[in-house]
Amino acid sequence: MSKQADVVSAARMLDGLEKALPHLESMASLESTEEGTGDLLSRLRRSLPVIQKEPEAKGVMVTFRDPTSAQLQSFLAEQAPAANKVDEAEGGGLEAKFDSHDILGWFGSFFTWWRKIKPHAWLPGDAEPAKFPDVARVALMADWGTGMYGAPVCARSIEKDKAGYNLIMHLGDVYYSGTGKEMADRFLNQWPKVAGAMNRGLNGNHEMYTGGQSYFADVLPKFGQKASYFALQSNHWVLGCLDTAYADHDLAGDQAAWLTKIINEAGGRKVVLFSHHQPYSILDSQGPKLVEKLGPLLNAGKIHAWYWGHEHHCVVYKKHAQWGLMGRCIGHSGFPEFRKPEWGGAPTKASWVELKGANGVPDAVVLDGSNPYIKDHETEYGPHGYVSLEFENGKLTEIMQLADGTEVMRNQIA
């Protein structure tokens, strides 16, 4: 039996919660319950429309950008196998099959677990960048922490790549809410093992739904990583790796000043940024706090390229008209994301669909195709994949690859 269920359905959560909540609320009003119960109940009540809104295919993983809903998913995924309430999921893996009685029964332990969630202490990073080789290969994955579908396939392709890698980096999000078990099963146990490579993980909003506790306490020590933000520097490049999740879609601590100092002292080196959240997007929300804090660097044309995740598509933007920045969203490494109906039927071969930018966001292309790793739902979901970067002194080549390693785009961006 798996240690936790892989999939927790939104429809089942909604049904269970809608039936269980009135009972829980009447129990809470009758008894002198522990402080915080009312707060959790009202949060769960507020999560109902969020859960309801999320489209899902039967038996395929779905999650929410809502802490309480994602926390409940983690909890249900863990409780269901112990209560023998799991079954094969349609899209692969095991699905939790709980009902409203189970939710009622489990509520006490969910409340105990939930009230202990506190953010992990912020860890200060190194002031100076660490050394990075002039000739180096980097593998990037983002929103990869499902342990399912294309995610393990990406990891095996990275391991098998004959050219090897110097750095393997995840740009954040381990589902549902980055608990210790999820970090072990969906992330650390699946992480690609490449001899000689440095391993790095950035923080994501889903890790922070459990306060980033396991991210900071388990992942960072395992990776030999001091903090959730850091910089690497070769003779030609600065790689600025940011934590945009500790403060949601923002830069916590002194990251903006820290990065500015490093870049001001970088001489003629070009700068590439990596983060979980986006500075801008065509398909998702914008990142005004990031743009404001890094405004002077962006306006001065100091940022050459920026790779981010959070949104589960692969989107390659044209050069930003004002900032000269090349932005790439690469959050397509393992989470099932629906294709858009306006893109038409799924092409048999992965291909690129043009997207029109607006309000200063550049035009882009998005990777479209089917997803062979989501059983019986292949044509509903976009492809999974990862990105390889090849640094060769001042030259930088990016290679977008499908989960099986197939190359779908190659650009020399410097």
User: Which residues sit at the interface with Fe ion, rule CB under 5 A?
Assistant: 173, 204-205, 310
Minimum CB separation of residue 233 from Fe ion in Å reads 27
Q: Is the dihedral of CA 240, 177, 214, 247 positive or negative?
A: positive
Distance of closest approach, residue 303 Cβ to Fe ion, in angstroms? 21
Please, which residue, 72 or 142, has the CB nearer to Fe ion? 142
Local structure of residue 381 (DSSP, 8 states): B
Q: Which is nearer to Fe ion, 234 or 333 (CB)?
A: 333
Other residues' Cβ atoms within 10 Å of the Cβ of residue 413: 15
C-beta closer to Fe ion: residue 205 or 370: 205
Nearer to Fe ion, 70 or 80 (CB): 70
Provide, rounded to whole angstroms, the least separation between the CB of residue 45 and Fe ion: 24
Q: How far is the CB of 274 from Fe ion (least distance, A)?
A: 14
**Smallest distance, Å, CB 15 to Fe ion?**
26
Collapsing DSSP to helix, strand or coil, 383 comes out as coil
**125 Cβ partners below 8 Å, 6+ apart?**
226, 227, 228, 229, 230, 258
Nearer to Fe ion, 97 or 328 (CB): 328
Cβ proximity to Fe ion: between 79 and 333 the closer is 333
E strand residue ranges, 291-406: 303-308, 314-317, 326-330, 351-355, 364-368, 385-392, 395-402
Residue 262 Cα to chain centre, angstroms: 26
User: Under a CB-based contact definition with an 8 Å cutoff, are residues 12 and 98 in contact?
Assistant: yes
CA distances from 383 to 67, 152, 333 (A): 27, 14, 9
Shortest Å, Cβ 41 to Fe ion: 26
Closest distance of CB 144 from Fe ion, Å? 11
- CA gyration radius, the chain: 21
What ranges in 224-315 are assigned the alpha helix state H?
A: 255-264, 288-293, 295-299
Which CB, 40 or 245, lies closer to Fe ion? 245
Exposed e or buried b per residue across 385-398, where buried means at least 16 C-beta atoms within 10 angstroms of its C-beta: bbbbbbbeeeebeb
Query: Nearest-CB residue to Fe ion?
Result: 310
Q: What's the min distance (Å) between Cβ of 21 and Fe ion? A: 27
Q: State which residue, 205 or 333, has the beta carbon closest to Fe ion.
A: 205
Amino acid at position 132, single letter: F
Cβ burial of 32 (10 Å; 0-12, 13-18, 19+) is exposed
